[in-house]
Amino acid sequence: MSLIVQKYGGSSVADAESIKRVAKRIVEARRAGNDVVVAVSAMGDTTDELMDLANEVTPIQAPRELDMLLSSGERISMALLAMAIKSLGHDARSFTGSQAGMITDSVHGAARIVDVTPVRLREALDEGAVVIVAGFQGFSRESRDITTLGRGGSDTTAVALAAALDADVCEIYTDVDGVFTSDPRIVTKAHKLDRITSEEMLELAGSGAKVLHIRAVEYARRHGVTLHVRSSFNNSEGTIVYDPERLPEGGAVEESVIAGVAVDLGQVKITVVGVPDVPGAAAKIFKIVARTNANVDMIVQNVSAAATGRTDISFTVPKSDGEKALTALSDAQESLGFESLQYDDQIGKLSLVGAAMRSAAGISARLFEALYEAGINIEMISTSEIRISVVTRADSVNAAARAVHTAFDLDGDDDAVVYAGTGR
Ligand code: ASP
Ligand code: MG
């Protein structure tokens, strides 16, 4: 008998009909003789709607209460799903993250899993029940409060359950057929990958690809969990996210140079204008930014104008970190000695990812050529071993993604299908 962990995203359980459809799938897996543990997201756009509601009540929410509020979305879907399975004649039991033993630190809104103690889940499985767990949430022993894992965190719940229960498979069910070479909502010619290495998946997720939560990919990599990302709307094989080092003998596959193109519209650019070009200037600036916990991504320093001995330093941070970084720098203007600050929230980031970039030549030249031909200006560039990212204007980044996708021969024959969801 195998143990299967399945995760269903919000668009797969958006309404009563979808919940019944998903219940049938789960029952099929159970009838095939497997133990089944399900992590479920909140229905449709519930989490966003709860956020909207909180914002209507007050623009600044107490983090503890926000987690209480947001974690309720998953409690709705877990209970309804358990009811639906029971109505099909199978025992099912739902558990909150806390009941399931998802122990986290006490950082509200971005809690990390520190331990998983699935005692009650094991008991329920032993009694023959299908187990449904509310995704995206946990419990802190320190603060004794409910926490959430960050937006999209139900993937991480599923992976953590799979690792703790030593599951045979961890299936992530979503509204597309798997991991695509780009977001099918932006690049309609994107094609589904049969396999992708966890390293590439990590870079794509970190570059704005929304199909998997980055923390889930990290967790899976660390605990050796192989993921199968697939559609809940059909029975097609999806994408296997695997660690090549753990691949059994003879299982190696020829890697394609490029795994995908990701777009990120969630960053802002801050430019510190007229910084004295002396040793230690950058250190001072980024120390101040670091103290705000802002997550700096790309950095560019211009050549200083010889006449003034001053230079400009630009960097990007997630939109949610932008204001506080700006305020902290502004407060330190006198000691840093710069002239002014610029804040730009109209940027887009495009990233090209592929493990074989390590050994392939001419990738950046081809990327820049494609952008040039599409008439798109590059504002910043950064690279890692297996990724090249560029910043463009926000309103041209989607066109840039399509141009680059074509230039690297990634276009599929047919348009990609998106089965559900608002993409919110
Ligand atoms: N419901 C949460 C969100 O929308 C968690 C998840 O869907 O994974 O972010
Ligand atoms: Mg969701």
Calculate the CA 376 to chain-centre distance. 27
SS3 content of the chain, % helix, strand, coil (to 5): 35, 25, 40
Distance CA 264, CA 298 (A): 13
Residue 205 in domain: yes
Find, among 389, 3, 55, the residue nearest to 167 by Cα: 3
**Distance in Å, CA 42 to ligand 1 centroid:** 6
**Looking at 3-12, 53-62, 357-366, 399-408, which range is the least confident one?**
357-366
Instruction: At 316, give phi and psi (nearest 5°).
Output: -115, 150
Number of domains forming the structure of the chain: 1
Distance CA 286, CA 360 (A): 33
The finding on whether 161 has its CB within 6 A of some atom of ligand 1 is no
**Distance in Å, CA 101 to ligand 1 centroid:** 19
Please indicate whether residue 406 or residue 246 has the higher confidence score (pLDDT).
406
With the most atoms of ligand 1 within 8 angstroms of its CB, the residue from 47, 96, 422 to mutate is: 47
9 is in an annotated binding site: yes
CATH number of the CATH domain containing 154: 3.40.1160.10
Do 285 and 307 meet the contact criterion of CB atoms below 8 Å apart? Answer: no
At residue 249, does pLDDT exceed 70? no
Residue 382: C-alpha distances to residues 47, 58, 261 (Å): 33, 38, 15
Distance CA 156, CA 160 (A): 6
Residue 262: C-alpha distances to residues 93, 389, 405 (Å): 38, 9, 10
Residue-range definition of the domain harbouring residue 120: 3-249
Residue type, position 212, single letter: L
Residue 80 in domain: yes
The finding on whether 10 has its CB within 6 A of some atom of ligand 1 is yes
Distance CA 53, CA 12 (A): 23
Place of tokens 């980055």: 214
Residue 288 in domain: no
pLDDT at 420: 74
The two tokens of residue 147 are 């926490």
pLDDT at 243: 87
The pLDDT-based confidence of 236 (bands split at 50, 70, 90) is: very high
422 is in an annotated binding site: no
**Looking at 15-19, 215-219, 410-414, which range is the least confident one?**
410-414
Ligand nearest to the CA of 421: 2
Residue 193 in domain: yes
Distance CA 164, CA 198 (A): 19
Residue 179 in domain: yes
Do 289 and 328 meet the contact criterion of CB atoms below 8 Å apart? Answer: yes
Q: Using one digit for the tens of pLDDT, what is the confidence trace for 355-404?
A: 888 888 899 999 999 999 999 999 999 999 999 999 999 999 999 999 99
Residue 133 in domain: yes
Residue 143 in domain: yes
Instruction: At 302, give phi and psi (nearest 5°).
Output: -80, 160
Element (H, E) at 402: helix 397-407
**Distance in Å, CA 153 to ligand 1 centroid:** 6
